[in-house]
Structure 1
Amino acid sequence: MTQQFGGVICAAVTPMHGLTIDHEAFAMHLHTLAMEGCSGVLVTGTTGEGPSIGLSERPQLVKTAVSAANGLKVLAGTGCSSLTDTITATRDAFDNGADAVVIVPPYYFRRASVDGLFNYYVAVIEQSVPADRSAMLYHIPPISGVPITVPLAQRLFDRFGDRISGVKDSGGDMAYTSALLETVPGLPVFVGSERVLLEGLMLGAAGCITAGANSAGAACVRVYDAWRSGHESAGDLQSKVTELRAVMESYPPGAAAYKALLRLRYGGASWDVRPPLENHGPEVLDEMVERITALDLDLLPWIAG
């Protein structure tokens, strides 16, 4: 099987001024991610507030990402609770140039069987994924409540081969990660946090798709590159990245935390989150910056400026 993606893919925030998506700020952010060495970008994922972005807004967001990609692979989160909405969002993503889609399971009927979920994915892939493109399965049970079980991943990979380009594993359970890699050889797995990037790579993961790259893309890439080159610095770099991520996770939701930092980095007014999420105020940002600075990790040089 041919691996289509690898390295550090940023689960990008969606810049907004009030309720309006700021495409210019989004393009600027993607330029930064490309310059920092990220290999790709996930649009309308969890950190990108995908569930809060309407079907009518998604095509232009993908189009902006493709236009601004500068070498980045563009993945689009297209999973919805409605099968027909998922098919529509997936078709629209590919029509506007996405390289792949990332599909979370339908998350309202949480007791759906493996057979039911299999049928759902078969319908989406057969009706909306072109033969020369692919879909990635999105395992995030702490949020969705519906796992991509190892048997489900196995069945879909057996059915579609390269049209399943991987699993975004945001479950936080490395035993699951290991089982998936061992049971479904050839299926690329991307850990969902830079916290476990090195551990995942050592198990055989292809890389990570992570929110942390919004602010620390270069640092995440350094971990990945050090591991690939066999450099002993990989462990020390991973420890630093893990410390930084721990601070960021202290200020949920992630979209608000990363947007607060990006407001500091880029300036401007386009770093709001949509309700029901809430923005972090200046006092939270000040505390966040103070804690990051106190770590003395030298991972975010732009903070000192």
Structure 2
Amino acid sequence: MTPFDEGGAIDEAKLRAVASWVVDCGVDFVVPCGSNGESELMTLEERATVTAIVADEVSVPVLAGTGHPGFEETREQTRRAADAGADAALVVTPYYFDHDQAALAAYYRRLADESPLPIYLYNVPAKTDVSLDPETVGTVADHENVTGLKDSTGDMIAFQRERRLAGPEFDLLVGTGALLAPALDAGGDGGVMALANVVPDLVSDVYHQRADDSAAARALNADLVALNQAVTARYGVPGLKAAMAHRDVPAGHVRFPHQPADEDVVEEVAALVDEALDRHTDGPE
């Protein structure tokens, strides 16, 4: 996520602190300028700035969100992300207009042809009202510069079909913290999720526990579902930042037109954070 100051400007010091904190808690890569980074509320220049700050701060790979509704902006944003030090680009489906599957496949193929970075597809129909079919993912996955997919549909049937159609070398990432363990069991490689901004330590534990005890990983993941729903579908970015602030993580302010979480939401997400931490750690840090 992206911390902003009271005036809506990017807070560089807090952004560096957040990036360092999630890495110290065990995440394997970071994603600036995704949906929960409020990327759609930033200019091209601001997104490039955020990507550069994060890339300078961390030693893990940087998967930068570069998608816009139009091709020209996306291509330019991807070029700027490369210049800023990103290792790959996360590209949301073009939205607003109703593009068919053939148009979506052509869009990603052309972008991959021209991109200086490997491309990760990003399917999040709840935000875009556009969805990539598994067959389209499989078709695009054979491009040498299309490396993976973030699937935020919550559809595990489609997720398993994508695994089969895209092949074993394709990075298949789940986009919701509620489904990390089931997605790993279904052949997924990892995840990109809002939840990892709040409890990166516990999300990392889910991933690593699965290697030794998949049942334990699923149990831990189940304990995080209520918190995940609160900071995504129910309260969105304001709830996410409130949950982070409860852990003394410098989440900063939301960017207008987002509104700060009200007191009832702050108390609810704080209780959910405490519950998750009390179950699996020594308590809030």
Q: TM-score, normalised by structure 2?
A: 0.92
> Once the two structures are superposed, what CA deviation does each residue of 1:113-154 show, in whole Å capped at 9, x if it has no partner?
222122222222222x22xx4110001111111112222212
Take 1:285 and 1:227, find their aligned partners in 2: how far apart are those partners? 32
2:241 aligned residue: 259
Q: Which residue of 2 aligns with 1:139?
A: 123
2:66 to 51, 56, 78: 78
Matching of residues 43-192 of structure 1 within 5 Å: 43-69=32-58, 71-110=59-98, 112-127=99-114, 129-130=115-116, 133-158=117-142, 160-161=143-144, 163-186=145-168, 187-192=170-175
**What is the DSSP-based 3-state SS (H/G/I as helix, E as strand, rest coil) of the residue aligned with 2:198?**
helix
Contact 2:66 2:77 in 1 (8 A): yes
The CA distance in 1 between the partners of 2:249 and 2:151, in whole Å, is 32
Q: Which amino acid is 2:261 matched to?
A: H
Task: Give the partner amino acid of 2:71.
Answer: L
Letter paired with 2:23: A
Distance 2:94 2:240 in 1: 26
Q: How many residues align?
A: 283
**Mapped partners of 1:136, 1:40: distance in 2:** 14
Q: What corresponds to 1:239 in structure 2?
A: 222
Q: Deviations over 1:94-115 (max 9, x none)?
A: 11110100001110112x1222
Q: Which residue of 206, 210, 214 maps to 2:189?
A: 206
Q: Give the unaligned 5+ runs of structure 1.
A: 1-12
2: distance between equivalents of 1:105 and 1:295? 33
Q: RMSD of aligned C-alpha atoms?
A: 2.0
Partner of 1:36: 25
- For structure 2, the 5+ residue unaligned runs are none
Identify the residue that residue 222 of structure 1 maps to in structure 2: 205
- Higher relative contact order (Cα pairs below 8 Å, separated by 6+ residues): 1
Identity of aligned residues (%): 25
Higher deviation after alignment, 280-289 or 41-50: 280-289
Does 1:282 pair with 2:263?
A: yes
Aligned AA for 1:197? Answer: L
Given that 1:136 and 1:165 are in contact with CA atoms closer than 8 Å, whether structure 2 keeps it comes out as: yes
More strand per residue: 1
Aligned equivalents of 2:276 and 2:28: distance in 1? 27
**Residues 145-167 of structure 1, C-alpha deviation per residue, up to 9 Å, x if partnerless?**
11122222122112x13x21211
Runs (4+) of structure 1 moved beyond 6 Å?
none
SS of equivalent to 2:150? strand
Q: What amino acid maps onto 2:77 in structure 1?
A: A
CA distance in 2, matches of 1:137, 1:47: 17
SS of 2:45's equivalent? coil
State the shift of 1:299 in Å.
Answer: 4.5
Contact 2:224 2:276 in 1 (8 A): no
Distance in 2 of aligned mates of 1:101 and 1:192: 15
Cα gap change, 1:207 to 1:295, in 2 (>3 Å)? closer
